[in-house]
Amino acid sequence: MEPETDRRSFLGFAIFGLGTIFSAIIGVPLVCYGIDPRHRKGPKSSFKAVDGIKLDEFSLNDPRQGVIRDKRDDGWIHYPNDVIGRVWVVQSGPRPDLSTPEKVAAFNTSSIVERERYLKVFTTICPHMGCSVNRDSAGGFACPCHAATFALNGDRATADNPAMRGMDTLEWKIDESDPEALRIVVAYKNFVSSIEKKEVIGEEPAA
């Protein structure tokens, strides 16, 4: 074989070899990232524990704030137990009999309307433009950003309210994995702000 031909063949193999090595260097971590179960999306409406509150500590019309934690990815950084949201929980009616795991399970199968006769859970995110809603001195809730006010049942407190709807409720139930602890879990969601109807971000609006 001619020396010139040899040189070309060698260069061709060298370029191919280097290309393969660089592809592996870039591609293998990407494939591993995709395969790693920590980076797969969880089920959409899974219930999440509410930290910081126990049903035993509640009294009528005395809201408590709880924290929702979950794994969260920010670029290449994985946070295994980050705060993803906060909720206001209000006892709005008498506590049902939850003295046995069977009674807890039966309560959880009742409709959300029935469960809300006992407790209502609201996201702390203001439906006006997304600030965080606090307690107010009048006994309800108020948003510090543009002065939206809400009653304890989540309704808008005044007609001249910048929020176009009341506070957004979240579906909840009692954590059956530890019925004696009497903690709650919620289906945490984010909602579209500044519209009249409650719409979940990323979900088709109900017809």
Of the residues 69, 103, 162, 199, which one makes contact with ligand FES according to CB under 6 A: 162
> Which of 103, 94, 95, 70 lies closest to 186 in space, CA to CA?
70
Q: Does 126 bind ligand FES (CB under 6 A)?
A: yes
200 binds ligand FES per the rule CB under 6 A: no
Site string for ligand FES, 31-70 (x = CB under 6 A): ----------------------------------------
Cβ proximity to ligand FES, 145 vs 182, nearer residue: 145
User: How far, in Å, CA of 204 to CA of 200, rounded?
Assistant: 8
Least distance in angstroms from the C-beta of 189 to ligand FES = 18
Q: Judge residue 102's burial from the number of C-beta atoms within 10 Å of its C-beta, 0-12 exposed, 13-18 middle, 19 or more buried.
A: exposed
Write the single-letter amino acid at 171. E
Query: The tokens of 171 are what?
Result: 């579906």
Q: Are 56 and 65 in contact (CB under 8 A)?
A: no
Nearest distance, CB of residue 197 and ligand FES, angstroms: 17
Cβ nearer to ligand FES, comparing 91 with 149: 149
Q: How many CA atoms lie within 13 A of 205 on its CB side?
A: 8
Q: Which of 131, 151, 157, 164 binds ligand FES (CB under 6 A)?
A: 131
What residues numbered 139-158 form the site for ligand FES, per CB under 6 A?
143, 145-146, 148
**What SS3 class is residue 109?**
helix
- Per CB under 6 A, residues contacting ligand FES are 126, 128-131, 143, 145-146, 148, 162-163
